[in-house]
Every structure is written in C-alpha cells, then in structure tokens.
Amino acid sequence: MKSPDLHEHLQGFALYLSDQLRDLIRIVRHPGDSDEAKASLALFIAAAAALGLVFFTDRADMTSATLVLCGFACFIAGLFLLTFHRGGTVAPDIAGRLTPGCRIGLARITADLGVDGDAVILPEGESIIQFNTSGAGRIPAGAVDTSLVLHEGSVGVAIPPPALLLWHHLREEYGLTTPEGIEGSLSAFREVVTVACELAETVTTSIEGDDLVLEITGYHLFGECMITRAESPKCCTMFPCAVCGLIGVILADATRSAWSYDQIVLSPESRTITITLRQYEQGI
C-alpha cells in the first residue's frame, strides 16, 4: 500500500492554518454583535498597551515584569476566545448554495420567453437596471416602466441587477462613492472584493481593446459558481451574481453608460473567475 506523501500532508496543514488565520483576522476586523469577538479585541488592545508601556519606559523592575506577564496573559486569553468562537459567520459551502437557485430559475423563465441575451447593466434615472434582450433586439430608449418590455425593435426583460442591493449596502455602510471613470471603477471593485468584503485573495484588471477583463482569484464562494455553471454557462452572463455583477453596476454609475457581459470563465484549480465585459454601443 502506498504511504501518504509527507509533502501533501504538510501542504494540507498549511492551507488549514491559512484558512484559520484568515477567519481570525476577519472576526477581529469585523466583530459585529459578537460579545466574544469584542472581548478578544479588547484583550488584544490591553496586551498591546501593556507590552508597549514596558517597551517605551525601558525599566527593568518588578512593575515591568508584571506588565509583561499581564500582556502575554491578555494576548493568550484573547487568542483562546477567538479560537473557540464560531461567531455569526456562514460556512462557504452553505453560503454558496443560498442564491444559485434563484438565478437558475430566472434564466429558465426568460429562456422560455425567448429572451436569451446577455446582461446589459445601464443607468436608469438615479438607479441602475439590468436588461436582457431577445435575439438581436436593442435596449429600449427612454424610461423602462415594466419588467417585460415589448417595444418595436426592443423586446426583452428589465429587472434590478442581482448586485444592486450589495451596491446600496456598500454605499450606505462602507462609504463606497461614485468612482471617476473606468480606472476608478476597476480600483473600487478590487478594494470591495479583496478588502471590504474579503471574498477573494486577489483581483487583477486589464483593458484589452474594447474589452475590460477582470480576474478574481481565490474566490471563497466558488462552489456557487460551479453549481450555476453546471446548469448552463449562459446563466452567468445572463444573470451575473452579486459579486460578478457589481463591476457592471459600478461602471454604469461611474460612466452613466451601459455595459454588457460578454463572457465569464471559471478555473476551478485556482478558484478563479475571469469576467469580460464591454461598453454597450447601441444606445440607451
């Protein structure tokens, strides 16, 4: 029988420690309503204060020794509280199964109605809407008052983008503002996904001709993507999830123009999502 590879065991252990450390950092940075997390944060602050006082006073006496012991005790106590605290976080495998069904259902209904166009995100007054065209149809001119649009030369479905609620929340609670142009929009999206929401390890962006290409690497809810893709790759471009669709909403708000999703490609090995979108040219 083949013995287990030591390198594989060490790699798995390193990944486990990395995940645990990331969870601890997230809990400390976003304690929310958790008393344990707030207590841990207070203990860490007390430990830093005690050890900092010893460092700056540079006294070698019993008081300094007591402060050192208290500092280490506070640090260890805070670490124990965080280690055994589950908090209000949702497991990624559970979170990834909460919304795909809604998007798959929408894709099935619109396909049955003959609407198969990729999502176009466009500004509508003070808000943002998503429009999916039928065949070679165009997005409608003027205001859109109904979900099912049946105008001459413009047949399709208009809905609020799945990312709209997340966009509003980021503006109200995290201070997201309207960026300056395309570069500002790409920078804002990177900060939201990797720093504010901590949903991925890295986000890289590039402009290739008329296309904007974004790579979200190490996406923590990648299981949701695989479930949706198993139904049909078209689901992703017709109804982008809140994360993939967020860049379209940010761009539409910043440029006051429409943006179309051309392609969304998945790389399971690195949990990478590659999004390609371009400015919609047919007029609003």
Per-residue pLDDT of the chain (284 residues; tens, 9 = 90+): 444 555 565 566 556 556 655 665 665 565 555 667 677 778 888 888 888 888 888 777 888 888 888 988 988 888 787 776 655 567 778 888 888 999 999 999 999 988 999 999 999 888 899 999 887 778 877 677 778 888 777 889 999 999 999 999 999 999 999 999 999 999 999 999 999 888 999 999 999 999 999 999 999 999 999 999 999 999 999 999 999 999 999 999 999 999 999 999 999 999 999 999 999 976 44
With respect to residue 154, please indicate whether it lies within any of the assigned structural domains: no
Residues 104 and 221 reside in one and the same domain: yes
With respect to residue 136, please indicate whether it lies within any of the assigned structural domains: no
Residues 102 and 63 reside in one and the same domain: no
Whole-angstrom distance, CA of residue 143 vs CA of residue 107: 24
With respect to residue 219, please indicate whether it lies within any of the assigned structural domains: yes
Which one, of 162, 165, 156, 164, lies nearest residue 109 by Cα? 156
User: Which residue is it, tokens 């993507």?
Assistant: 225
Strands (E), 101-201: 120-124, 127-133, 148-151, 154-159
Residues 182 and 81 reside in one and the same domain: no
Coil, helix or strand at residue 189: helix
pTM over 0.85: no
Residues 52 and 104 reside in one and the same domain: no
Strand 120-124 to strand 202-208: parallel, antiparallel, or no bridges (unpaired)? unpaired
- State the residue range of the domain holding 24: 6-89
With respect to residue 156, please indicate whether it lies within any of the assigned structural domains: no
Residues 62 and 108 reside in one and the same domain: no
Residues 168 and 48 reside in one and the same domain: no
Coil, helix or strand at residue 172: helix
Predicted local distance difference test score (pLDDT) of residue 20: 56
Give Cα 227 distance to the centre of its chain.
Answer: 17
Coil, helix or strand at residue 54: helix
Taken as a whole, the chain contains a residue count of 284
Residues 217 and 103 reside in one and the same domain: yes
Residues 189 and 226 reside in one and the same domain: yes
Residues 102 and 222 reside in one and the same domain: yes
Residues 64 and 182 reside in one and the same domain: no
Per the structure, the count of domains in the chain is: 2
User: Which residue is it, tokens 């390193």?
Assistant: 14
What are the structure tokens assigned to 140, written together?
Answer: 């409608």
Whole-angstrom distance, CA of residue 243 vs CA of residue 252: 15
With respect to residue 122, please indicate whether it lies within any of the assigned structural domains: no
The amino acid at 69: L
With respect to residue 151, please indicate whether it lies within any of the assigned structural domains: no
DSSP state of 118: P
Looking at the DSSP bridge assignments, the partners of residue 265 are: 274
Residues 103 and 187 reside in one and the same domain: yes
Residues 99 and 30 reside in one and the same domain: no
With respect to residue 253, please indicate whether it lies within any of the assigned structural domains: yes
With respect to residue 79, please indicate whether it lies within any of the assigned structural domains: yes
